[in-house]
């Protein structure tokens, strides 16, 4: 594929359930980022992967949020015991290396917690 892909595109869940969001970065990109965009807001950084290690997790809002990455490929963001304030669009981006000047974004997953 040419770009970053994310799945599902939309997810509606009940409060208290766990959800998993998936990101497929551009092939060969070693750096991967997760951001959250609440309605009417800019993007908030969540976590950054370089390869399959996460040198910067400082944006994760609580211990209900976790993420992992397999090799230099797919990443999953897991939110446990979802709350209504978790409702947002979750965006994934990748770049060839950390120092490269461009992050390419996927279309996002819109999460709605009822």
Partner 1 sequence: GEDVEQSLFLSVREGDSSVINCTYTDSSSTYLYWYKQEPGAGLQLLTYIFSNMDMKQDQRLTVLLNKKDKHLSLRIADTQTGDSAIYFCAEKSSTLGRLYFGRGTQLTVWP
Residues that bind partner 1 (CB under 8 A): 4, 31, 33, 35, 40-45, 48, 50, 56, 59, 91, 93, 95, 98-99, 101-108
3-state secondary structure of 38: coil
> What is the number of residues in the chain?
114
In the complex, the smallest distance separating the C-beta of residue 20 from partner 1, rounded to whole angstroms, is 19
In the complex, the smallest distance separating the C-beta of residue 16 from partner 1, rounded to whole angstroms, is 28
For partner 1, the closer of residues 14 and 99 by Cβ is 99
In the complex, the smallest distance separating the C-beta of residue 57 from partner 1, rounded to whole angstroms, is 11
For partner 1, the closer of residues 41 and 81 by Cβ is 41
- Give the whole-angstrom CA distance, residue 73 versus residue 49: 10
Cβ(5)–Cβ(32) below 8 Å: no
Tokens of 78: 């897991």
- Give the whole-angstrom CA distance, residue 47 versus residue 59: 6
Q: Could you tell me the sign of the dihedral formed by the alpha carbons of 23, 105, 4, 53, in that order?
A: negative
For partner 1, the closer of residues 14 and 58 by Cβ is 58
In the complex, the smallest distance separating the C-beta of residue 81 from partner 1, rounded to whole angstroms, is 26
For partner 1, the closer of residues 33 and 65 by Cβ is 33
């Amino acid at each position: 594929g040419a770009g970053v892909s994310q799945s599902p595109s939309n997810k509606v869940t009940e409060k208290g359930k766990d959800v998993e969001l998936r990101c497929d970065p551009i092939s060969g990109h070693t750096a991967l980022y997760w951001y959250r965009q609440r309605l009417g807001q800019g993007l908030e950084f969540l976590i950054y992967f370089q390869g399959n290690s996460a040198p910067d997790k400082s944006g994760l809002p609580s211990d209900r949020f976790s993420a992992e990455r397999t090799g230099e490929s797919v990443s999953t963001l897991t939110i446990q015991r979802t709350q209504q304030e978790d409702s947002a669009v979750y965006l994934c981006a990748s770049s060839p290396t950390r120092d490269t000047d461009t992050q390419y974004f996927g279309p996002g997953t819109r999460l709605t917690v009822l």
